[in-house]
A and B are shown apart, each in its own frame.
Chain A
Amino acid sequence: MPRVNDAVPQGWTVVPQGDRALLLVFGDGIAVEVGRRCAAAAAALRQAAIPGVTDVVPAFNSVAVHYQPRPSCSGAAFRQLADEIESVLACTLDARQAPAAGRQIEIPVCYGGQFGPDLDEVAAHCKLDAADVVRLHSGQSAYVFMLGFAPGAPYIGVHDKRLAIGRRPTPRTAVPAGSVAIANLQTMIYPNVSPGGWHIIGATPSILFDPAKTPSTLLAPGDTVRFVPVSPDEYLALKQEQEREQA
C-alpha cells in the first residue's frame, strides 16, 4: 500500500480510491480500539468541514473521504486534500487520548423460536445450549463499527469467542425486517426485508431506519449497544407501540 505522507508519526495511511475518494487506513483486523480511532477520525473530519468533502464513512479499520473536484486545486486534488486531512488528524487525533464515547443504546431482542430460526443450529455448532448463546450475546455490550449493507444496517461486535461461527453456506433470499443475525463474531440487524447470509438468532421490534425522521437511523458508528432479551409478548407489545408512533 503506498504511503502518502511519512511525516505523520502515528498510524494511518492515505490511499486514493479512484479520483473522487480516498481511504484512511488505521491498522488491520477487527478491534474495538481501531474502530474507535476510525470513529474519532471521522468525527474530526466532519467537524473540520473541509470544502468539497461530501461524505466521511468510517468502517472497521478505515475511513473513506468522498470529495468533489474543486477548481482551485486543478490536477493535484488528491494531494491537496490528503494534506488537509493529515493536518486535521494530526491536530485532533492523539493516540494517547481516548476518543469521546458514542451513545449507549439498548436493543430489545426476542431470541429463538419463529424470531430466531437459526438459534439452535448456532448453539449446536458452538457446542452450547441455546440459553448460553442468548446469555453470551446479550451479556456484554458491543460496539457499532459501521453502518452499511442497507440504510441503517449496523455491523456490531466483537462478541465472545465462544460464539464463533461463519456465514451460512447459502444465503437466504429474504430475511424479515428486524432480524438479528450473527456471523464472524459480529451482529447484523436487517432494517428491511433483504437477502442475508448470517445466522438469525432473534428479532428486534426497534426501527433501524426511517428516512422521514431525524436522525434517520437508530444507530451510528461509534455507538455502544446492549441487547436486552424480551419475551414474544413483550416483542409484540413493543412492535405495536413502534407502529403506533410511526402512524
Chain B
Amino acid sequence: MSITVLKPGLLSSFQDLGRKGYQHLGVPVGGAMDSRAHRLANLLAGNPQDEATLEITLSGPTLRFDSPACIAIAGAALGPTVNGKPVPNNRPLVIRQGDVLAFGARTAGLRAYVAWHGGIDLPVLLSSRSTYLRGGFGGYKGRALRTNDVLRLRSPLDGPDLDALARELWNIKIYLPAPLGLAPRSAVRAMPGAHTSLFKDKSVDDFFSSEYRISPQSERMGYRLEGNTLELKSNAQLLSEATSFGSVQVPPDGKPIVLMADRQTTGGYAKIAHIASVDLPAIAQCMPGDALGFMPVELQEAQALDMQREEAFEQLCQALAPVRRLLQGD
C-alpha cells in the first residue's frame, strides 16, 4: 500500500490543479507549474485530471514501491528508470512490489509529473491537495519530500495478473493530440494589459522585441528575468490588485518578474503584459539561464488557442477510456 522515498530529489512536491476559490482570502492558487504535463500524467494513469501528481524538478527522487501500482510520467525528460532500466514518458507503466523508480540525466525540460493510478492518500485542504511550500500546508505535510517519507496509495493495484495487465496496457496505442505537445518556442505569446500604457513606449518595444534570460532566483512563485530594464512614464504608485498566473509585473528596479503558480494573490507593481495560458507550460519547463522572448498576441487568439488545448484534452480523455477500463475493471 505504500511507497518509500529513498532519495527526495531536488524539489519534489505534490500538486494538483490548484486551490481555486480562496484567492479573496489571500490564499495562493498553487498547483502544477506545467498543468499540461500534470493533466497528461493523470489521464495516462487512468485518473481524473485534478488528482495530485508528484511534481519533480531537474533531479528526480528515488522511490521504492512496497506494493504494485500503475504510474505515468509526463513533462520534462529527466531520464526515468525502473530497476535501472529506462522507461518512457507518456505511457501507463505497471510497477511491481519492490521495484525502484529513479531518475537520471535531464535531456529536456525542467519539471516532470508522476501520477499514480488512484492517487496518493493526501488530505484535502481548502479544496486541494497541492503543497503550498511557503505557507507550509497542503500536499505531503506541507513540504517537499524527504528521505524515508512513506507515501500511501489510496487504492492499490490488486489485480492477480500484473503481467497480463502490463501487456494489455502496452498494446493500447496512445497518440497525443498535437496541441498537447510542447513545441519549443523562441518567444512566448503575451497580451498587453491595462497597465501597459503606463510604461514608456521604448520599454514596451523592448519587452516585445528583446531577449531576456531567466535568473537563478526563479522558483514556483515567479521567474525573474534579466535583460533590458523597463521604465514607467511616471512613478505614480498603483493600488494593489489581483494578479494572474502569467502576469509580468515590473518592480521599481525595472526587471520583469513572470508570476507563476505560487504567486501572491495580489500585488501593487505595474504589469506590462500577461502571458497566454497556452504558453505557460513552456515557461514552466524553462531553466534558469535559458533565453526567453515575448511576442504580442490578441486576447481572442489566446483564448482560441487555450480552447483548442482544452478540446484536445477532451479528445485524449475519450481515447484513453480503454486504459481506465483495464485499470478499474479487475
Within 8 A of A (CB), among B16-36: 20-29
A15: interface (CB < 8 Å): yes
Chain B contacts for A8, CB-based, 8 A: none
**B193–A54 CB distance below 8 A:** no
Which of B138, B299, B306 is the one whose CB lies under 8 Å from A69? B306
| CB nearest neighbor in A for B300 | A75
| CB nearest neighbor in A for B26 | A147
A32 to B25, CA, bound (A): 19
A58 to B242, CA, bound (A): 8
Which of B21, B25, B266, B310 is the one whose CB lies under 8 Å from A54? B21
**A1–B303 CB distance below 8 A:** no
A18: interface (CB < 8 Å): yes
Chain B contacts for A153, CB-based, 8 A: 26
Q: Interface residues of B, CB < 8 Å — how many? A: 45
Secondary structure dominating the interface of A: loop
Identify which of B194, B241, B274, B276 gathers the most chain A CB atoms within 10 Å of its CB. B241
Q: Interface residues of A, CB < 8 Å — how many? A: 50
Given that A18-B275, A211-B125 are contacting pairs, would A64 and B242 also be in contact in the complex, using a CB cutoff of 8 Å? yes
Chain A contacts for B135, CB-based, 8 A: 150-151, 192, 211
Given that A74-B304, A150-B26, A211-B126 are contacting pairs, would A23 and B241 also be in contact in the complex, using a CB cutoff of 8 Å? yes
Given that A16-B299, A148-B264 are contacting pairs, would A221 and B304 also be in contact in the complex, using a CB cutoff of 8 Å? no
A56: interface (CB < 8 Å): yes
| CB nearest neighbor in B for A55 | B23
Identify which of A58, A74, A215 gathers the most chain B CB atoms within 10 Å of its CB. A74
Give 17 pairs: A residue, B residue, CB < 8 Å, sorted on A. A15-B194, A17-B242, A17-B247, A17-B274, A19-B191, A19-B299, A21-B244, A55-B24, A57-B23, A64-B244, A146-B240, A147-B24, A147-B26, A149-B266, A151-B22, A153-B26, A211-B135
Which 3 pairs, one residue from A and one from B, show the smallest C-beta to C-beta distance? A18-B274, A148-B266, A64-B242
Q: Residues of A at under 8 Å CB distance from B?
A: 1, 15-21, 23, 25, 28-30, 42, 54-62, 64, 66, 69, 71, 74-78, 146-153, 155, 192, 209, 211-212, 215-217, 220-221
